[in-house]
Structure 1
Amino acid sequence: MEPRQPLSLSMPAFLHGRYLAVERQARAEGLRSGEHYRRTGAFPAPLEVQDLPPGELVVAHDVVDFQRERPAWRLYMVSSVLDGVYETLEWQNPLPVKRAYEASCRETAWGALYFAISRTAPKSAERTALLLQAVLRFWDVLQSARYLFSAPGATLTLDELMLTACDWAMDAWAPKPGASVRSRLEAASERMARATREDSIDAILRQLPRALSFAQGLKHRNVLESPALLREHLTTLDPNSFERVSGACTSDLLELLYGWDQELGMQ
């Protein structure tokens, strides 16, 4: 019996090339996709996809893309596709359109990864569960590539990439030091998917010390460090405001802390 061949990651051809070429190609794809969505209410599949050889490097964040004249797979340029979609639809109802495009992309390995690691906010518990579950479905395929994300020249495995981009989700929802990244993501996504409001409050309180460590210039830090007062404040949030922070994403919690700090200063 021949040994099993490694699974390959497939990506849209418009994400490969020099920076300016990918930007142009991705925007053109967005215009095409936006027009299709306008007519049918659904997004089309890419016109061409390519299988990446095992170990191929994928640039997953713009902060590490310094060699822009070098042809590369630029996953982060999916954002330019969205810009083209919004432009075609004249920026009408961008949030529902983004959600629809995200749902479509979750059916592909490249799309699932893009939305799971992108820094777009807010990330509710329900939405993050869907994003992580999508990545987990394609885990073996995504493991075939290597990624640039947080530091130039630091090539990451999928485990390292998800640990870098989604450590907040694991810390808040699956604080199990020593367990594998995959198992912690599975546990976190399962807990997020069935989370009650109280479950989310507990996760947020676990993450608030981390958020506070990044917060600068708070005028009422001593008040904001009180778990009891924070719990009380969280219980008063309206449903929409609470949903925005229910995933306990650090960036969402920072926005919440700055808002509370400002409110305290007005009392």
Structure 2
Amino acid sequence: MSLISVGMPLYNAEKFVEQALDCLLRQTHTDLEIIISDNCSTDNTVAIVERYAAADTRLKLFRQPENLGPIPNFQFVVEQARGDYFMWRSYDDWSDDNYIETLAAVLDSNRAVDLAVGKVIRANNESQIEGGQELAAYKPTAGFRDSIDMIKASHPGWMYGLFRRAPILATINEVVRDFPHVWGWDHLILFPFASRNRVAGHYGTRFFQRETGISSDRYRPKPAAAQIELARSFYRFCRRDYDKSDASRVQKLAMGIFLLKHTSSCTEKFTRTLRILLGLRRP
């Protein structure tokens, strides 16, 4: 059994962090390091985590001297990781007890896969709904059409799957460097993996993503100028990343056209932005 790193970036997490930690400590894969970075919480988060860390040496608590911002805090926990595999876990999400073990087996069995994902369940106080689409069986000879299908099937909850540490560290470093926004960054984290057919799914285990609406209220840009800048940064990042792939020139052009169409049809914030850019409605 090999060491797997779990990173938990925290800020004012007292409401649900015990549930999240209990879930991790119940995992059937027990060789874990749980890296917790507190981003200057003002509630009882640190006291709760210190109590858990005193009882289980697998927990490592880092207290930031000043608030790093949300995305650099996600970056920090990856930088501290020592395992070959890495997983983020939010303070308000949970999973089946076999989640890490099941996804690790997917990565162990196929070196061409850099991200293993389970079944995503969107959860709130009233219901639990399956999110995203199940992937077809992984094909090592997958082509451009398969990349498009994988992007269509992707779900933000895949960000909490199990990654190989080296490629996710490189990706989060690029996102922090080149994308100065919080809204939409999870899709950029997934884009290099989905666009290169480096994702495989196993639907015998579930990840429960709690929907609180906090991200939309706090980080979604509202002024037209901010929406336009977000869209420009988003598409620029995708173009630069895909230009580094071994896709043909025609495929790279086709990917750019597909992303414009796909994001404008399935993501309301880009629909609104594109209408502004095209002059179809006044900002």
User: What TM-score do the two structures reach when normalised by structure 1?
Assistant: 0.30
Which protein has the larger Cα radius of gyration, Structure 1 or Structure 2?
A: 1
**Which protein is richer in helix relative to its size?**
1
User: What TM-score do the two structures reach when normalised by structure 2?
Assistant: 0.29
**Which protein is richer in strand relative to its size?**
2
